[in-house]
Amino acid sequence: MANLDKITEIEDLRRIAERKVPRMFYDYVDSGSWTQTTYRNNETDFDRIKLRQRVLVDMEGRSLSTTMAGEDVHMPVAIAPTGFTGMMWADGEIHAARAAEKFGVPFSLSTMSICSIEDVAENTEKPFWFQLYVMRDKEFMENLIKRAKAANCSALILTADLQVLGQRHKDIKNGLSAPPKPTIKNILNLMTKPQWCMNMLGTKRHSFGNIVGHAKGVGDLSSLSSWTAEQFDPGLSWDDVARIKDLWGGKIIIKGVMEPEDAIMAAKSGADAMVVSNHGGRQLDGAPSSIAAISDVVEAVKAESSDTEIWLDSGIRSGQDVLKAISLGAKGTMIGRSFLYGLGAHGEDGVRKALEIIYKELDITMAFCGHTDINTVTDDILIKGSYEYLKSGRPMLEPIRWG
Ligand code: FNR
């Protein structure tokens, strides 16, 4: 087992992953759409919210335990669904799912995963969540739902913000594919990633496990990219949500809600939770950060007297970020890149490390703010005005105007 004692923050894991993972897969993770402004703001906006330091408060017996969609969690952080995860590290979804279940947080499996629903179910003990992309091929989609049920998945995450795809320049320039095409550029880059190559040689899982062999016309890999581009359903609507909810019959989470109008629709749909998310800055470039969007969503859902939980993702790189999201009304959070950097750096151990880092930061920061139970944290831990100032969309320093 690698010694990870010197790894103390998510940024350490990012740096190691950057070194170890082939360029096209690292770039796929570490990028946002178009100008990447929303991607950057997701992180920088967290930094602009200031915390109130309290002293001489009894900080003994702290607890971060709570629930997300009725499931007990060791801290209010779940692993977000991410595509191509088995390309960051061989069998990556299985490693991440195992790290999550040992730590006591939920794991979400993407439709676009490398390991299939069945693969992950066979190699883990606890139920996980399945994330559904709604496809035009209804038979395939309904079959995916049945497969998730058969695998005992305990919630279905319906991703609502990817009916069309935000352009990420690097993916096009790198010719992103799973597995990578044997071009000279790729081969030269792979030669510098010996551990990744060795691990990949040890697994058969090199392409999209939920799709290849299950969807019409996708028997080989060459037809997959065109199939994906053609298959995401731009006609998805709230009526489909009701239909999918009936088909699934279990807990449902709607991911990608940013505006109060949509939040009200999500609450009325009877979802168990909604995730305030801009897909980690990978879809609508120019959208606000998720943290800037959450308070209006919380207010709108409260006015509906709905018990749909509100969660947040996009930009979480520390326990401080989690605490800020919780203080603004999130019942839980999800992390994408923070766990992917851990996975690319050290596989299952790296994901565990990422979770430990966030847990420790969250625990200590909560104590500094004078709380011992995560369930009692409210916006009274924030410096008054620092969030409102961020939400107003103004830069921190107004430019000086002469004349
Ligand atoms: C994603 N995300 C995502 N979401 C989803 O519903 N299905 C998917 O297949 C993917 N794939 C994916 C790949 C990669 C590489 C990333 C980084 C993200 C979005 C993901 O679930 C989550 O919303 C964001 O990752 C949250 O932002 P942070 O934590 O990465 O900043």
Instruction: Tell me the CATH number at 386.
Output: 3.20.20.70
Q: Which of 18, 24, 276, 282 to mutate to test the pocket of ligand 1 (most atoms within 8 A of CB)?
A: 282
Cα separation, 321 vs 365, whole angstroms: 10
Mean pLDDT computed over 170-176: 90
User: Where does the pLDDT of residue 164 fall: very low under 50, low under 70, confident under 90, or very high at 90 and above?
Assistant: confident
Mean pLDDT computed over 136-154: 95
In this structure, is residue 5 part of a structural domain?
A: no
The pLDDT of residue 161: 94
Establish whether residue 10 lines the binding site of ligand 1, counting it when its CB lies within 6 angstroms of any ligand atom.
no
* pLDDT above 70: residue 57: yes
Cα separation, 75 vs 374, whole angstroms: 8
Mean pLDDT computed over 229-247: 90
Q: Is 169 a catalytic residue?
A: no
In this structure, is residue 306 part of a structural domain?
A: yes
Tens-digit pLDDT profile for residues 377-391: 999 999 989 999 888
* pLDDT above 70: residue 220: no
Establish whether residue 314 lines the binding site of ligand 1, counting it when its CB lies within 6 angstroms of any ligand atom.
yes
In this structure, is residue 398 part of a structural domain?
A: no
**Structural domains in the chain (count):** 1
The pLDDT of residue 2: 77
Q: Which of 118, 139, 157 is nearest to 248 (CA)?
A: 157
Q: Three-state secondary structure along 370-397?
A: CCCEHHHCCHHHECCCHHHHHHCCCCCC
Peptide bond into 179 cis (omega under 30): yes
What own/partner pairs with CB < 8 Å and gap ≥ 24 does 164-167 have?
164/232, 164/234, 165/229, 165/232, 165/283, 166/33, 166/34, 166/279, 166/282, 166/283, 166/284, 166/285, 167/33, 167/34
The pLDDT of residue 102: 98
pTM above 0.85, yes or no: yes
* pLDDT above 60: residue 398: no
In this structure, is residue 4 part of a structural domain?
A: no
Q: Above pLDDT 70, what percent of the chain?
A: 95
Mean pLDDT computed over 99-103: 98
* pLDDT above 60: residue 168: yes
Looking from the CA of residue 337, the nearest atom of ligand 1 is: 30
Strands 273-276 and 252-257: what pairing? parallel
The pLDDT of residue 394: 55
In this structure, is residue 364 part of a structural domain?
A: yes
Q: Which residues constitute the domain of residue 313?
A: 10-392
Looking from the CA of residue 81, the nearest atom of ligand 1 is: 21
Q: Separation of 326 CA from ligand 1 center, angstroms?
A: 20
Establish whether residue 112 lines the binding site of ligand 1, counting it when its CB lies within 6 angstroms of any ligand atom.
yes
In this structure, is residue 362 part of a structural domain?
A: yes
* pLDDT above 90: residue 403: no
Cβ contacts of residue 9 below 8 Å, gap of 6+? 318, 357
Establish whether residue 82 lines the binding site of ligand 1, counting it when its CB lies within 6 angstroms of any ligand atom.
yes
* pLDDT above 80: residue 125: yes
User: Where does the pLDDT of residue 217 fall: very low under 50, low under 70, confident under 90, or very high at 90 and above?
Assistant: confident
- The answer to which of 119-128, 300-309, 382-391 has the lowest mean pLDDT is 382-391
Cα separation, 114 vs 345, whole angstroms: 18
What does the mean pLDDT of the chain come to? 94
The pLDDT of residue 228: 73
The pLDDT of residue 225: 65
User: Where does the pLDDT of residue 401 fall: very low under 50, low under 70, confident under 90, or very high at 90 and above?
Assistant: low
Q: Separation of 340 CA from ligand 1 center, angstroms?
A: 10
In this structure, is residue 259 part of a structural domain?
A: yes
Cβ contacts of residue 12 below 8 Å, gap of 6+? 6, 345
User: Where does the pLDDT of residue 215 fall: very low under 50, low under 70, confident under 90, or very high at 90 and above?
Assistant: confident
Q: Three-state secondary structure along the chain?
A: CCCCCCCCCHHHHHHHHHHHCCHHHHHHHCCCCCCCHHHHHHHHHHHHCCECCCCCCCCCCCECCEEECCEEECCCEEECCCCCHHHCCCCHHHHHHHHHHHHCCCEEECCCCCCCHHHHHHCCCCCCEEEECCECCHHHHHHHHHHHHHCCCCEEEEECCCCCCCCCHHHHHHCCCCCCCCCHHHHHHHCCCHHHHHHHHCCCCCCCCCCCCCCCCCCCCCCHHHHHHHHECCCCCHHHHHHHHHHHCCCEEEEEECCHHHHHHHHHCCCCEEEECCHHHCCCECECCHHHHHHHHHHHHHHCCCCCEEEECCCCCCHHHHHHHHHCCCCEEEECHHHHHHHHHHHHHHHHHHHHHHHHHHHHHHHHCCCCEHHHCCHHHECCCHHHHHHCCCCCCCCCCCC
Q: Separation of 29 CA from ligand 1 center, angstroms?
A: 8
Tens-digit pLDDT profile for residues 330-345: 999 999 999 999 999 9
User: Where does the pLDDT of residue 94 fall: very low under 50, low under 70, confident under 90, or very high at 90 and above?
Assistant: very high
* pLDDT above 70: residue 397: no
In this structure, is residue 399 part of a structural domain?
A: no
User: Where does the pLDDT of residue 218 fall: very low under 50, low under 70, confident under 90, or very high at 90 and above?
Assistant: confident
Cα separation, 78 vs 243, whole angstroms: 26
Tens-digit pLDDT profile for residues 22-36: 999 999 999 999 999
User: Where does the pLDDT of residue 84 fall: very low under 50, low under 70, confident under 90, or very high at 90 and above?
Assistant: very high
From the candidates 95, 206, 214, 279, which is the catalytic residue? Answer: 279
Tens-digit pLDDT profile for residues 313-331: 999 999 999 999 999 999 9
